[in-house]
């Protein structure tokens, strides 16, 4: 199977296996989400989650002597990696499993998005067949972590005194055409807010759909409005989406 076919297969499987673009709407048994500060900080680039600390782990694993590391090095010297613009050096191990190792390469500190490549073993030989870009996203048990955008009137900016954020949330569904599937707003659970001196972070959570045993899930395309009230005024802080690691800047602080 060629690398291109592997990538197409991976994308097809991902659209079926997840209920939203975040990949966090897995079929989980628990029905209570642990608060942000008490939750193990895990993220995902697709199928497997890993500690967010792996994004800052030891660099240079492509120089290693293990079979997966040598497969990564061969891939980075090859045409597919050159055509895609993959960096040659500075890779980290994100997830290590028996028959697959997921590697990542981060850009400058604070930049959202990494390069990702997975080496897997087939018929006794290790090779990289899946690669691309990824925005590492937080994983919350029994919840779907959704992207959101501000709904602002034309020419209006957030003010330091604002306490209510008018948002538009984006999700998908495993049950298109049904009443539940057409009303994702009913799955809204809560929004977690984290304040620092210079930032206000928002993590928006929906109750995860039960993924059906057979059938596809639409990844994106359902938008709905939601107002979120902050515990205290925004102040002169930057507003960020905590869905990604690092956080995605939504609105720069006003002067």
Domain assignment present for 179: yes
Instruction: State pTM to two decimals.
Output: 0.80
Q: Let me know whether 186 and 108 are in one domain.
A: no
Q: Let me know whether 179 and 244 are in one domain.
A: yes
Residues 118, 130: contact at Cβ < 8 Å? Answer: yes
Which tokens go with 82? 């050159």
- What rounded mean pLDDT belongs to the chain? 84
Distance CA 48, CA 150 (A): 30
pLDDT tens for each residue of 105-126? 998 887 889 999 999 999 999 9
pLDDT tens for each residue of 186-200? 999 999 999 999 999
Beta strands, E only, 179-232: 188-195, 199-207, 218-229
pLDDT at res. 218: 62
Neighbours of 178 (CB within 10 A): 10
Domain that holds residue 87: 40-138
pLDDT tens for each residue of 43-81? 998 778 999 999 999 999 999 999 999 999 999 999 999
pLDDT tens for each residue of 140-184? 988 999 999 999 877 678 999 999 999 999 998 888 888 878 899
Which of 138, 158, 190 is where one domain is finished? 138
Q: Considering its fold, how many domains does the chain have in total?
A: 2
Which of 80, 106, 138 is where one domain is finished? 138
């Amino acid at each position: 199977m060629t690398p291109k076919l592997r990538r197409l297969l991976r994308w097809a499987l991902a659209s079926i296996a997840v209920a939203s673009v975040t990949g966090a709407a897995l079929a989980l048994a628990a029905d209570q989400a642990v608060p942000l500060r008490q939750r193990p900080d895990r993220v995902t680039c697709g199928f497997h989650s890993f500690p967010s600390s792996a994004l800052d782990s030891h660099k240079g694993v492509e120089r290693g002597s293990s079979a997966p590391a040598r497969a990564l090095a061969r891939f980075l010297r090859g045409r597919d990696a050159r055509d895609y613009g993959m960096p040659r050096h500075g890779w980290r191990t994100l997830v290590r499993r028996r028959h697959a190792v997921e590697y990542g390469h981060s850009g400058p500190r604070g930049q959202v998005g990494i390069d990702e490549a997975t080496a897997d073993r087939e018929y006794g030989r290790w090779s990289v067949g899946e690669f691309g870009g990824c925005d590492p996203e937080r994983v919350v048990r029994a919840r779907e972590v959704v992207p959101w955008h501000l709904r602002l009137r034309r020419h209006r900016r957030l003010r330091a005194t604002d306490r209510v954020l008018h948002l538009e949330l984006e999700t998908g569904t495993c049950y298109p055409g049904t009443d539940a599937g057409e009303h994702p707003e009913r799955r809204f659970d809560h929004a977690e807010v984290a304040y620092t001196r210079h930032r206000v972070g928002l993590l928006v959570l929906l109750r995860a759909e039960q993924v059906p045993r057979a059938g596809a899930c639409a990844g994106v395309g359902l938008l709905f409005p939601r107002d979120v009230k902050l515990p205290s005024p925004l102040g002169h802080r930057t507003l960020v989406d905590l869905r990604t690691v690092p956080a995605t800047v939504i609105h720069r602080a006003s002067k």
